[in-house]
Every structure is written in structure tokens, then in C-alpha cells.
Structure 1
Amino acid sequence: MDSGTLLSFLALDLLLVCVPGADWAYAISAGLRGGSVARAVGGLVSGYALHTVLATAGLAVLVARSPTLLTALTVAGAAYLVWLGWSVLRRPAVPSRAAGSAAGSDGGRVFLRGAVISGLNPKGLLLYLSVLPQFLVTGDGRLPVPAQTAALGLLHMACCAAVYLTVGLGARAVLGARPAAARAVTRTSGAAMLGMGAFLLVQHAL
């Protein structure tokens, strides 16, 4: 795997990561609740770490070759997005010191929720099952495919950590003193998650 391949993957990966979605919404929510951005982002990255391990072990290829299993995972992710989006719409995050204290005392749940969000994120499934394999190179003198897969997966995790930390901390800095704007942004994120999940469910139902 040469530097050109890595740079091409990095450019495409950054483009995908920078598209707002469920991960963004969770990072923003964590930033507004205060004190939980690192744990939330750590959870999100751990979900992609699991994807990387499975892809490196070759299980991602098996999933891609099993339409039934792939559909089941996509539907599960879509249903979780609908539930999460509805929860955000019902209780939009509002910046406050009390919220920050509560988030700090429940870091385990914040981390676990982030891992579930990224683990079931349809965008993540798309990356590992469809996009990443296109950058794997075979032939004499090349790194083994599992090593290439692990390298690309780690690169994706680094991109996610950098972007989502920026999003979460940026939300805290920009919206922390603007409760009305924070509520509007959170509701928009929740509506986007709900709409994305509903679209995927309808698409697989047809």
C-alpha cells in the first residue's frame, strides 16, 4: 500500500466523516451536556474499532456476501436511529452546569451509547463493507490484506476522533451560552437521524 492510496482513502474518508449524521448528533449532544465529549467520542471510536477488528478478521467480507445478514444489520441500525432521533426530539440537549455534572457521573453509559451508535451506524457499515475494500491492493511485495485493512481502519478511527472531538467541543463553545440555538441544532440533528432511519426502513420494506 503506497502513500497515494492512503491519501486517496484519507480524502474520501474525511469527506464521509464530515457529512453530518448520527455520530455528529451524538457529539453535539455530548458537547451541550458538558463534561462528556471525550467519553462520547471514545465510545464512537470504539464502535469503529470493532468494525476494524471484524473487517481485519475477514468477517466483513462474509457479511457483505450474505444479503440477509447485511439487511438485518442495516435494519437494526436504522431502527436504532429512529429511536435515538425520537429521543433527541423529545428531550433536546440544553447546556447547563447541572447537565454537565450528570454527564460526568454517568460516563460509562455515555461511552456505551456512543459505541452502539457507531457500531450500528449504516454509514459505518457502508464504509467497511463497500468503500474500504476498494482501496485494498494485492500482488507481490504488498502488505497482506488484513494488515492493509487494519491500517485503513485505524486511519478512519483517527479521522473520527479528530472530527467528532472538534464538533463536540465546538458545539459547547459556540452554543453553550445560547440555549435556544442549542435546542434548535439538537432538534435538527434528531430530525435528521429519525428521517435517515425511517428512509432506510422504508427502503428495505419495499
Structure 2
Amino acid sequence: MAVGSVLAFWAVAFLLIVVPGADWAFTISAGLRGRAVYPAVGGLVVGYAMVTVVVAAGVGALVAENPRILTGLTLVGGLYLIHQGVTTLARPAAPPAVPTEAGPTDAGPAGTDWHIFRRGIGVSGLNPKGLLVFVALLPQFTDPHGTWPIAAQIGVLGLAYLATCGAFYLGIGRLTHAVLAERPDAARHIGRLSGAAMIGIGGWLVLDHLLR
């Protein structure tokens, strides 16, 4: 597989990753909880990995050829983002309290990390921007006449996206925590803004397709 194809895809993917969206809002919300950023970003990466596997298996071509399927997935993704936004808006994240010797750490109560991890999978797995990258954009950087099978090429491109996504969002989450760790009121406002952003993105996606 040509290195130039991988670098070209990486450049386009990076531009899409740095554009604020649902992943940003979710990561910032998790970053306010300290160590919760790790399961959150892990969930995002796993969600995109699952989409990569689906596209590599050939389902992506079927989805790309049938606009109704992609529309349905986008609607589901929009509704899921609205749900996550309402949840975040109702319970905005805030920096954890300083733990005592017998108290909990900033990982939160039992099961919190697993819950955040699963939410991350849903946010990225149903993120329309991610679906666009993997279903519509990624196959364009493969070479059907190359020595590597198409599935292997998609796997390599997917790994490039996953690595970039994980590193970038981990940085965003840690930066959020570092800046707002001792500013609980500001953190709650940012948490509410993150929830409102998810609701707005999800609502726009739903309305955009319903009004067509």
C-alpha cells in the first residue's frame, strides 16, 4: 500500500477530527471528571474500530450505495446524541472532590468508568461525521489494483485514524481537566455547554433529514 495514500488520508482525517463536534463535547464532559477521560476516549476509539471492521467487511460499500441506510444511521446517531446531550445537560460534569484516605478517587462510583466507556462507543459508533469518514471517504484512498487486499488497506487507514483520534481527544480531555480542575463553577458551565452542543448537533442532523 502506498505511503502517500496513507498520508493523504491522515491529513484529511486530521482536519475532520480537529473540527469541534460530538466527540469534542463528549470528551470535554468526561475530562471534567478527571480520570474518566481515559475510558471516554477508549470508548470513542473502540467505536471507530468497530466501524472500521464493518467497512472492511464490505458493509460500507452497501451503505454507500444505498442512501436510505445511511440516512437511517444518521437519524439514529442524531437521536442518540440528543439523548446524551440531555443526560449531560441534566447532570453536568464537574471536577471530582479531593479524595480522602478512605474515600473514592476521581474515577467515581463503581461502574462509572464502564458506563462512560459504553457511552463513548455509542457516541463514535453512531457519530455521523465518523460514518462519513469511514463509509464515504475511506474507501476512496484504497487501491483496488494494489498488492494489498482492500480489507487490509482499509484496516491500515482505520488504524491511522484511530491513533490520531485517540491522541488528539486524550489531549483535549487532559487539557480540560488541567484548566478547570479547580474551577467547579466554570466546569459546570462548560459541562452544560457540552450537553447543549450534543443536543444541537443531534437536533440539526434529525431536522436536516426530516426536512429533505
TM range (shorter): over 0.9
- Report the counterpart of residue 49 of structure 1 in structure 2: 49
Q: Quick check: 1:34–1:103 contact (8 Å CA) kept in 2?
A: no
Equivalent residue letter for 1:167: I
Letter in 2 for 1:33: R
Amino acid at match of 2:204: F
Alpha-carbon distance in 2 for matches of 1:60, 1:99: 42
Q: CA deviation at 1:101?
A: 4.2
Q: CA 1:103–1:128 in 2, change beyond 3 Å: closer, same or farther? A: farther
**Alignment partners' CA distance in 2, 1:33 and 1:103:** 12
Q: Does residue 187 of structure 1 match 2:192? A: yes
Post-superposition offset of 1:116: 1.0
> What's the offset of the Cα at 1:138?
2.4
Alpha-carbon offset, residue 105 of structure 1: 4.7
Partner of 1:60: 60
1:162 aligned partner, one-letter code:
A
Describe the shift of the 1:48–1:165 C-alpha distance in structure 2 as closer, same or farther (beyond 3 A): same
CA distance in 2 between partners of 1:66 and 1:99 (Å): 48
User: How far does the alpha carbon of each residue in 1:55-87 deviate from its partner, in whole angstroms, 9 at most, with x for none?
Assistant: 111111111222222111110000011111122
Q: Which residue of 2 aligns with 1:171?
A: 176
User: Unpaired runs of 5+ in structure 2?
Assistant: 98-103
User: 8 Å contact 2:36–2:107 — kept in the other structure?
Assistant: no
Consecutive unaligned residues of structure 1, counting only runs of 5 or more, are none
Task: State how 1:114-153 maps to structure 2 within 5 Å.
Answer: 114-139=120-145, 141-153=146-158
Distance change in 2, residues 1:150/1:101 (3 Å) = closer
Count residues in correspondence.
Answer: 205
- TM-score, normalised to structure 2, is 0.90
Q: Separation in 1 of the partners of 2:115 and 2:59? A: 28
1:160-195 Cα offsets, whole Å, 9 max, x none, are 110111011111111111122222222222222111
How many angstroms apart in 1 are the aligned matches of 2:83 and 2:117? 18
Moved more, 41-50 or 16-25: 16-25
CA contact (8 A) 1:32 1:95 kept: yes
Cα offset, 1:197, TM superposition? 0.9
Q: Give the Cα–Cα distance (whole angstroms) in 1 for the partners of residues 113 and 196 of structure 2.
A: 25
> Whole-Å Cα distance in 2 between the matches of residues 104 and 181 of structure 1?
26
Percent identical pairs in the alignment equals 49
Match of 1:202 in 2: 207
Q: Distance in 2 between matches of 1:138 and 1:67?
A: 23
Deviates more, 1:27-36 or 1:102-111: 102-111
Three-state SS of the structure 1 residue aligned to 2:108 is helix
Residues of 1 paired with 2:134 and 2:124: CA distance?
A: 12
Aligned Cα root-mean-square deviation (Å): 1.6
